[in-house]
Copies of this chain bind each other. A is one copy, B any other.
Amino acid sequence: MKSIVGNIFGITLCALSLSVSAQNTFTDKVNPIIGTNGMGHTFPGACVPFGLIQLSPDTDTIPHNINGQYQARAYEYCAGYQYKDSSIVGFSHTHLSGTGHSDLGDILLMPFTGELKLNPGTATDPDAGYHSRFSHDTETARPGYYEVTLEDYGVRAQLTTTERVGVHKYTYPKGEEKQLILDLNHGIYNYDGKVLWANLRVENDTLLTGYRITNGWSRVNCVYFAISFSKPIIKYGYTDKKKPLYTGFWHRFKVNENFPEIGGRQIVSWFDFGTGSSDELEVKVALSAVSAGGALKNLQAKTAGYSFDQLAEIANRKWNKELKVIEAEGTPDQLTMLYTSLYHTMINPSVYMDVDGKYRGLDHEIHQAEDFTNYTIFSVWDTYRALHPLLNVINRQWNTDIVKSMIAHANQSVHKALPVWSHMGNENWCMIGYHGVSVVSDALAKGLPINKEEALKVMLSSSTLPYYDNLDVYMERGYIPLERTGNAASVTLEYVYDDWTIYQAAQAMGKKGNRR
């Protein structure tokens, strides 16, 4: 490791067991704004290492398609935020980092004052909706913390997170009505009908629960939430922007205002906390892929009794603890490049399990993890070469959990296949190869405590799916003929490499024979 990058930065790897000072010497060197302009597809918002929550501003709402017609500009918004934009549509809780296709942007909040607008508006026409202008001068982004002032409303927004909870602190102008949008229709790579269903319950005047199910890159993505407010709701309401074809007998109620439950496909809701007491509103948003009850447990487990500032400090400490694994010397720019890159290696995969060990598996069923923490967002074609080998050096526990999550994924797969590209309990089949076998083989080679027989079994089943990307002919001939596909050479090379890693694992286990 040192030999590769040490001569550039003078890096020393620190064993995690060494104690280091609590100074902000590492998080200070990270600039989350890097990669947020153009096609870097990073986000500037708050998260903790490998957390479920990436709480970040979204600056526009370009849909993936309109009536099935792909919108090329959607690609700019893979991570929701473009540095060149000068307005923000709100703060959503899930983001992909650095990907070339997209999804998520779940559960968007936007504080506002004055006139109620239930449309988001756009970056080019922010006044058409609840968008607000902002200046980068008011923006602070550091690991686990993001801050910006929303000019149109004069609201200072501060964000931090735990693994499973997004924490918002909004400071409204004195005497103004403290209002908030909760948009259950907003999403990245959105399209008409992406939200299959959204449900919202106002449990009491400081607690909401609900869920939404989307059909995007993650084919059936279930996001449950529990949202607590530091102040009581005075009044609230919703609109369903999609005219339902069937409403049954719910028309008996005025469901649009102060009615404590709603369901629909394009729900945008608003909450008014009045002008009284202080001008601050704290909002905690816990997510779960399992249930609203799971989200409530997640909410209570790690945030109860902590102030916003304490939670931001805890997030900062988590990042310092992980970033200190490399101690480097160099110019400020070199150190910023290194530590920001290191920061970017610890955003995805993300934990995908409630505090009680329950998680939603690839079979869309709820499972109980017995001996590992379940992770998701496996962009394996991007990560098999460097990320997992790096984690095997700097944090073996994480990669152990990740590899166990991948093997659980394979066992839950109807194909018995390791992840190709999967997120939120769904295989999305992006990119080529079956590089999950490389990740597992490397984990075995590096001595991670993985069940070897089980590992080899799913490596073999992953590499013998006849209906997967010309594997039938590859298994027969040992290569893919050009007549079959234009990328025959690339795919053949990927398969040959992947098979070599299976061979290495089998050989180390003393196995003989042909995988086919």
Residues of A within 8 A of B (CB): 64-65, 67-68, 101, 189, 191-194, 196-197, 199, 201-203, 209, 211, 213, 215-217, 219-220, 243-246, 248-250, 252-254, 258-261, 263, 291-293, 363-366, 414-415, 421, 428-430, 467-469
Contacts and interface: CB of A to CB of B under 8 A. Distances in A.
Contacts of A209: 363
B249 A363 contact: no
Given A253-B467, A260-B414, A467-B253, A199 B364 contact: yes
B215 A64 contact: no
A219 B248 contact: yes
Given A428-B249, A469-B252, A263 B67 contact: no
Contacts of A259: 467
B414 A202 contact: yes
5 contacts: A67-B245, A68-B245, A197-B213, A250-B429, A260-B414
Nearest to A292: B365
A213 B193 contact: no
A293 B209 CA distance: 26
A220 B197 contact: yes
Given A260-B415, A261-B415, 15 more contacts: A64-B246, A65-B246, A191-B245, A192-B245, A193-B245, A201-B414, A203-B414, A211-B364, A215-B263, A216-B246, A217-B248, A248-B428, A248-B429, A252-B429, A258-B467
A214 to B, nearest CB: 10
B292 A248 contact: no
Given A363-B292, A467-B254, A249 B199 contact: no
B248 A216 contact: yes
A367 B263 CA distance: 21
A430 B197 CA distance: 22
A430 B252 CA distance: 9
A293 B365 contact: yes
Question: Main secondary structure on chain A at its contact with chain B?
Answer: loop
Nearest to A244: B215
Which of A189, A219, A259, A260 has the most CB atoms of chain B within a 10 A radius of its CB?
A: A219
A356 to B, nearest CB: 13
Nearest to A293: B365
A193 B248 CA distance: 14
Given A253-B467, A365-B293, A469-B252, A414 B261 contact: yes
Nearest to A420: B249
A464 to B, nearest CB: 14
Contacts of A366: 291, 366
Contacts of A199: 220, 364
Nearest to A195: B196
A469 B260 CA distance: 15
Which of A197, A415, A430 has the most CB atoms of chain B within a 10 A radius of its CB?
A: A197
Contacts of A64: 246
